[in-house]
């Protein structure tokens, strides 16, 4: 888990996706990408923006899919996350090739990237298996509790 991750004001309000390992590692990876690209020069600002956007897109899409009402949507958004992860991998490769990333920072990024790819692939495979078997329990989806609303007759307080 990324240092300081649980210290955000919103942490306790986040849905169950925060417990998914693929989300945790991708969130950590997004933080590490932000940190690693902070040292890039002004001439690389577009690359920095692209890398940060791709990195933050991974946990964002996992979260969005989790919060959707159907398993098919969840899978689709996890596949969007995998696409963003592929984009980020290509960008890390480019940065290594041109010397923007090296040493321990590069090694940490590559290791966390690999772990994130593995976990996201396992998540997608597990979701597709549930879809094939018809074993998805949609009661875990995000929805409002019906008791939050009361309907009273007009004129009643």
Specify if 29 maps to a domain.
yes
**Class of residue 47 by CB neighbours under 10 A (exposed 0-12, middle 13-18, buried 19+):** middle
What is the CATH number for 91? 1.20.1440.60
Give me 18's structure tokens. 């925060």
Given this model, what pLDDT does residue 154 score? 66
Chain segment 57-81, per-residue pLDDT in tens = 999 999 999 998 899 999 999 999 9
- The pTM of this model reads 0.82
Chain segment 5-18, per-residue pLDDT in tens = 557 787 777 778 88
Specify if 1 maps to a domain.
no
Residue 79's nearest CA partner among 115, 123, 116, 112 is 123
Q: Is the pLDDT of residue 25 over 50?
A: yes
Per-residue DSSP letter, 154: T
Q: Which domain holds residue 102?
A: 14-148
Segment among 79-88, 101-110, 127-136, 145-154 with least mean pLDDT: 145-154
For the chain, the domain total comes to: 1
Specify if 28 maps to a domain.
yes
């Amino acid at each position: 888990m990324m240092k300081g991750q649980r210290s955000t004001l919103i942490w306790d309000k986040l849905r169950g996706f925060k417990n998914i390992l693929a989300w945790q590692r991708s969130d950590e990876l997004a933080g590490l990408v932000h940190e690693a690209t902070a040292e890039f020069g002004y001439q690389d600002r577009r690359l920095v923006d692209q890398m940060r956007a791709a990195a933050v897109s991974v946990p964002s899409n996992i979260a969005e899919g989790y919060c959707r009402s159907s398993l098919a949507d969840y899978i689709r958004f996890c596949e969007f996350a995998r696409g963003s992860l592929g984009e980020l991998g290509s960008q890390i490769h480019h940065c290594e090739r041109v010397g923007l990333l090296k040493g321990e920072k590069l090694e940490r990024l590559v290791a966390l990237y690999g772990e994130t790819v593995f976990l996201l692939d396992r998540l997608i495979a597990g979701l597709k298996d549930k879809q094939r078997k018809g074993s998805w329990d949609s009661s875990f989806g995000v929805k409002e509790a019906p008791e939050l609303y009361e309907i009273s007759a007009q004129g009643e307080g």
